[in-house]
Structure 1
């Protein structure tokens, strides 16, 4: 296959832990040709969706790990697969890119994950589709409703709808002297919508990332365990990643959601589960391949490339 990958600048990738690099390494090992481009290199001319793109060669040297051929302009429909691996934030430029990728699909490109699904599945709000698996949850832009929810549950987590890596997440208790200030800052006096959820004490055992590939769960998840004194388990917030087999409850959630996610055109999804509860559905650029592979020996990248090969006629 010829695989085009829309991603962040190559020099920004930390290849020792990057999931996109793990995918590329496995695909190259099988003889697939890799091409890369960045968001600003995607464009439309005379109705055709094109990219200024370069052939990528992996060198095997972890210091100088890639070599690029000269740039060329190619139609995305010329490739066997187009992987959307641009990291969040999901800002307006990301949104515009999904519209251009939609147009490319109409011209014959095969895009993973499906651009429409990337728009439909806000990584926080998507859990509302699966309400039977979530903790009590409030979505609002009214500070007074947050106060009422906090009074009911006593201990809650407040998060923005567009955050990543644990940014902007607060744990609130009834006696928090900064409650008013936090609500003003995060909700911008009623101008910003937030999600509030009952605190899940099982966070001490980790915020588990479960990878769903072509509707099926990888058998190991990565439990991201908060550092001392921290509520957030995100690796970007200092959490420690521990790979472990899926629990019975993890399998229940994965088997219930997997077929639905596949039907939406989501080949790769990262479910976040704390204790018994689904907390996020990550679709933009799910990670944790490398940590699971290194700690368990299970080849998540091979499972993904297997699915990609099946999906491309």
Structure 2
């Protein structure tokens, strides 16, 4: 098969942990042909089809990339590639979900109308903002408020006493604040996040089980990977995100993890989400990650369960 990965620049990949790289390596092992482009390379011109300008066909060298160069791949050729001519397009651009990501999903949606197979489905990416998506499943979440209102946030704090505030477009733990019962700095934090009522904020009751880790539960083709990666906060941090210094420890799924994953998995798969990363703290769902879920290599390295194999199996099945 011919696969096109729409991703960040390949030269920036840290291959020892990069999930997109692990997908590419497994696909190459099976003899699939790898192409890559950046969202900025997508072009749609009147009377034409959506095309990746200057897409690169790559092969893997077996050397380890460190995020500063391209030693891990070689470019076999460059060409303008009509997306409808490849077997699968994998949208793997990392967050944030900004205006350019949004526009890219529209171009990918047009490519679908022209016959391309895109994973995850562009419309589903738009319909499942990663923090807001949990609100569809209140049976699995802690008390949550989404608002621009200063007064509503203060009332939520008065009720729940210990809360987490975060921007809807944050990633990697960026912009997350905890406010305890004393309400210290609540006003300043609200002003910082909602920008005087101009931007929407998510507020949640603090879940103390974060000390045991923010678990990434992967769901592939509607089925859960049997192990999660618990991202454990270090030192005085409340954030378990690996980007914020959290320590990743692979663990078997708990009964509650399985309940959440087995409930959401078929629903999300039916909407065109081949790969989803559910974030679970304790027994509650905190995010539904759909843009570029990660942790394949960490789980595989620590448990021996081959997550990239499960993913490429699911991709091949979806293309049959």
TM-score, normalised relative to structure 2? 0.97
Q: Judge which range, 65-74 or 192-201, deviates more.
A: 65-74
Report the counterpart of residue 182 of structure 1 in structure 2.
Answer: 189
Matching residue within 191, 205, 212 for 1:205: 212
Q: TM-score, normalised by structure 1?
A: 0.99
Gaps of 5+ in 2: 66-70
Q: Deviations over 1:272-301 (max 9, x none)?
A: 000000000000000000100110010000
> Partners in 2 of 1:178 and 1:277 — Cα distance?
26
Report what 2:232 is aligned to: 225
Cα distance in structure 2, aligned partners of 1:209 and 1:36: 26
Deviations 1:238-264 (Å, cap 9, x if unpaired)?
A: 000000000000001011001001011
1:1-313 alignment, distance < 5 Å: 1-45=1-45, 46-52=47-53, 53-63=55-65, 64-313=71-320
Return the offset for 1:174: 3.0
Secondary structure at the aligned position of 2:193 is classed as helix
Q: Deviations over 1:152-184 (max 9, x none)?
A: 011000010000000000001231432111111
CA RMSD of aligned residues (A): 0.8
List structure 1 segments (4+ residues) > 6 angstroms apart after TM superposition: none
Question: How far does residue 118 in structure 1 lie from its aligned partner after superposition?
Answer: 0.3
Q: Which runs of 5+ in 1 are unaligned?
A: none
What does the per-residue CA deviation read over 1:117-170, in whole Å, with 9 as the maximum and x for residues that have no partner? 000000000001111100000010001111110110110000100000000000
Q: Which segment drifts farther, 170-179 or 70-79? A: 170-179
Q: How far off its partner does 1:190 sit?
A: 0.9
